[in-house]
Amino acid sequence: MTPDSDGKDPYYRTKLILCFATVYLVWGSTYLTTKIGVRELPPFLFGAVRFIVGGSLLFLVACLLNVRSGLINPKISVQEFKNLLIVGFCSVLLSNSSNAWGLQYVASNKAALLNVSASFWIPILGMFGRRAQILSSRVILALAIGFSGTLLIAWPNEVGTNSQIVSDHQQWLPTIVILIGCLGWAVATIYQRNVVTNLDLLSFTGLQMFLGGFMMLILGLIGGELSRWHWTPTGMAALAYMTLISSGIAYAAYAWLSVHTTPAQVSTYGFVNPAIATLLGWIALDERLSKAQIIGMFVILIAMLLMNWRNRSAA
């Protein structure tokens, strides 16, 4: 995908701010929402419905916008379908399935902290490919500061709620699964940044979400999750939020950022989201927030500002 020319788009800066704000705030709240959702609904079917419905709505909006603009929706070639499958597999099946499953066993703040690892993989992987970006000394310094902030947040030996503390050594498998999902997300981000496609951004995003959701549906059915599906108000509310807000609006904003900014800038969501998720988990789920975690969130904010300060977006 190739970005619009920043110099020719007078609204580029506004779009940039709105997209970053959407990704930071909405995805920072998804750990809490998913944690609540997988308490009520099986994780893979929860994700499948979210992405199938959300992807379909995004694709429908894209088609309507194209028709309104007098454009013809391009046909999907074999190579196009392959690209959609790869991004859908990495960003939806691998990444989101891992997080949804892992959130059954780990606190939402810990899952958010583990997802910071994607912010280190994205700039590193972004050094390769058709639109490779070499890391500057300032970006490397910001990554190092951000990493130190995550260590401060993750410093406590125990995680969970005040009423139910779970030792770290009991969570090694969910932790590894979530970390694997983070790598998948980073791969999908860089692949989508470098892929050549005839599809517009919304169409590509909607279709890859739909395909990834269909993969999750198959996984859920094979795992016998259909018998565990219950139409509870809490579960449906969490699913609606994840479908319309997270998979719809925020996913489209992230896709725009992955194409129109540098990998280092895109990766800053991984520093900010855990801070938001940790605060929400503390407020809503009584997940503990230590002094070290509070300091760590400010350190992460400093890293984000350093990475973006007077930074010109690359094409």
Question: pLDDT tens digit string along 250-305?
Answer: 988 988 888 888 877 887 787 788 888 888 988 888 887 677 767 877 887 788 77
Per the structure, the complete domain to which residue 218 belongs is given by 11-308
Residue 111 falls inside a structural domain: yes
Residue 4 in domain:
no
Across 91-100, 103-112, 153-162, 188-197, the highest mean pLDDT is recorded for 91-100
Q: Is the pLDDT confidence value at 169 over 90?
A: no
Q: CA 204, CA 148: separation in Å to the nearest integer?
A: 36
Which is more confidently placed, 109 or 59?
Answer: 59
In a domain, 204, yes or no: yes
Number of domains the chain is built from: 1
How many other CB atoms are there within 10 angstroms of residue 176's CB atom? Answer: 13
Residues 62-101, buried b or exposed e (16+ Cβ, 10 A)? Answer: bbeebeeeeeeeeebeeebeebbbbbbbbbbbbbbbbbbb
pLDDT at 203 over 70: yes
Please check whether residue 19 is in contact with residue 256, taking contact to mean a CB–CB distance below 8 angstroms: yes
Q: Is the confidence at residue 166, as pLDDT, over 70?
A: no
In a domain, 313, yes or no: no
Query: Which amino acid, one-letter code, is at 311?
Result: N
CB contact set of 95 (below 8 Å; sequence gap of 6+): 181, 182, 184, 185, 188
User: Quick one: 210 exposed, middle or buried, by C-beta within 10 A (0-12, 13-18, 19+)?
Assistant: buried
Q: Are 185 and 27 in contact (CB under 8 A)?
A: no
Calculate the alpha carbon distances from 123 to 39, 131, 187, 265 in Å: 34, 12, 11, 8
The percent of residues in the chain predicted with pLDDT above 70, rounded, is 88
Kindly report whether the global pTM for this prediction surpasses the value 0.75.
yes
Residue 65 lies in a domain: yes
Query: Quick check: is 2 in a domain?
Result: no
**Ordered DSSP codes for 1-22:** --PPPGGG-TTHHHHHHHHHHH
pLDDT value, residue 215: 97
108 pLDDT higher than 70: yes
Sequence-ordered list of residues with C-beta below 8 angstroms from that of 188, at least 6 positions apart, any chain: 86, 87, 90, 91, 95
Q: Among 32-36, 165-169, 292-296, which stretch is predicted with the lowest mean pLDDT?
A: 165-169
Mean pLDDT within 158-163: 46
Question: 1 in a domain, yes or no?
Answer: no
Question: pLDDT at residue 228 above 80?
Answer: yes
pLDDT of residue 8: 63
Mean pLDDT of 65-84: 85
Q: Is residue 3 part of a domain?
A: no
Q: What pLDDT is stored for residue 164 in this prediction?
A: 44
